[in-house]
Amino acid sequence: MPYRLQTDEHVQDGLRRCARERLDRAIAQLTERVSEDPVAAVHEARKALKQERSLLRLARGTLAADERRRDNAALRHAARTLSAARDAEVMLQALDELSERFAGQLPQAAFNAIRHRLEAERDPARQRLLDAGLTVAVADELRAGRSRIDEWSMSRGGWKALAPGLRRGYRGGRRAFAHARETGTAESLHEWRKRTKDLWYHLRLLKALSPAIIGGHADEAHGLSDLLGDDHDLALLRKQLRSGAGELAVDIDAVIELIDHRREQLQTEALLVGERLYAEPPKVFVRRIHRYWEASRAAREPVALAR
């Protein structure tokens, strides 16, 4: 089933189902697909772990705090274990997109030289991931986490189970947006991206309440996350080029100038989207989603999500 709470199930049941599905997906990627395409497998596994962590944040109104913190810490550790190989890959993707977008503005040989260097760093990182058995170890950690889901202590159902997490997540994203707009640092933009991903995932989980409206908001949050993700990948590439500039016989300053120009474009667009997406105060936003909840409940008798 999709990463979505259904209107014909109890909230607690839906949260457990989605949590199991995300961990099952991550485990399958790390055990069945990783030997065929380790880059894609690690990417999909990390995405599933991010969705799982967002689900935990949405469930803060019902899931026992100590259990939520325990499982979140385990998921964070698993994702970090997989991050090195993924970071090397996204820098290559960012370089290729930069080369295509600004084709002809710099000699292709410059991009080729940088790509060769990044590949030389990526391939050992990818191999270490496999040789060290890290994907197997992470999969085992995730199985242990999955076995705990049925034992989660959940105190509330219905809207009260979800409203606190939804409000906190949206408020955090709105604050992160304001901070990123004020400072423009790579760190603040990355933090805003993480909070935007939470909003995207929370809206996906609630999409069944109003597929057209909430689905549209989810799509916009997804688009904003992509803009900020592209900016973050370019920031990583920029940092990597600066750290190894003396070892490359290319005009690094010219490449970095293109990176800065593209990042300015991405950030300008992201700020415009952010103004729309975070226009409402948190209380107003949550009240509006609550009205969709009530409308959905009124349209279905009985509605399991209301219990």
3 occurs within a structural domain: no
Q: 265: Cβ–Cβ under 8 A, 6 or more apart, which residues? A: none
How confident is the model over 127-173, as pLDDT tens digits? 777 776 888 999 999 999 999 999 999 999 999 999 999 999 999 99
The helix (run of H) or strand (run of E) holding residue 89 is: helix 83-101
CA dihedral 267, 80, 97, 178 (to 10 degrees): 0
In the block, tokens 């599905």 appear at 21
33 occurs within a structural domain: yes
What is d(CA 52, CA 63) in angstroms, rounded to the nearest whole number?
13
Q: What is the DSSP string of 132-153?
A: TTHHHHHHHHHHHHHHHGGG--
pLDDT of residue 243: 84
Helices 158-183 and 282-299: crossing angle in degrees, nearest 10, is 150
Question: Which residue range(s) make up the domain with 116?
Answer: 11-306
89 occurs within a structural domain: yes
Short-list 217, 221, 222, 227, CA closest to 190: 227
5 occurs within a structural domain: no
Short-list 156, 197, 158, 198, CA closest to 58: 198
Q: 282: Cβ–Cβ under 8 A, 6 or more apart, which residues? A: 167, 170, 171, 174
6 occurs within a structural domain: no
288 occurs within a structural domain: yes
What is d(CA 101, CA 105) in angstroms, rounded to the nearest whole number?
9
- Which stretches of the chain score pLDDT less than 50? 303-304
91 occurs within a structural domain: yes
pLDDT of residue 303: 46
Q: Which two tokens stand for residue 102?
A: 């600004």
8 A C-beta contact, residue 184 and residue 193: no
2 occurs within a structural domain: no
pLDDT of residue 35: 84
pLDDT of residue 1: 63
Number of domains in the chain: 1
